[in-house]
Amino acid sequence: MKPRHPVNPKAYVRAVIAIALLISWSLAAFTGFLLWFAPRGARNAGWAGWQWLNHLSNRSQIIGRV
């Protein structure tokens, strides 16, 4: 049996990076489609974006006044 041809390390690293980028791109596209097809109420549910930070700051102000 013939020995295998050695793989170029740079080509191997490029292939691994390309596969990782394809996986991350497909996950981003999938979540984008989920958000695009989501009902409008689900996108603006009150906890989206940075609104949870406002909730925490308001709660700390209430606790601080006691």
Domain limits for position 14? 7-38
Query: pLDDT value at position 43?
Result: 57
pLDDT score, position 18: 98
Based on the structure, what is the number of domains in the chain? 1
- Report yes or no on 47 lying in a domain: no
1 part of a folded domain: no
Q: Using alpha carbons only, how large is the chain's radius of gyration in Å?
A: 24
Query: How many alpha carbons fall within 13 Å on the CB side of residue 47?
Result: 1
Domain assignment present for 54: no
Name the more confident of 17 and 62: 17
Tokens linked to 32: 């984008």
Q: What is the pTM of this model?
A: 0.52
pLDDT tens digits, residue range 3-61?
A: 688 889 999 999 999 999 999 999 999 998 888 887 765 555 555 555 556 666 655 55
Q: Could you write out the three-class secondary structure of 10-66? A: HHHHHHHHHHHHHHHHHHHHHHHHHHHHCCHHHHCCCCCCCHHHHHHHHHHHHHHHC
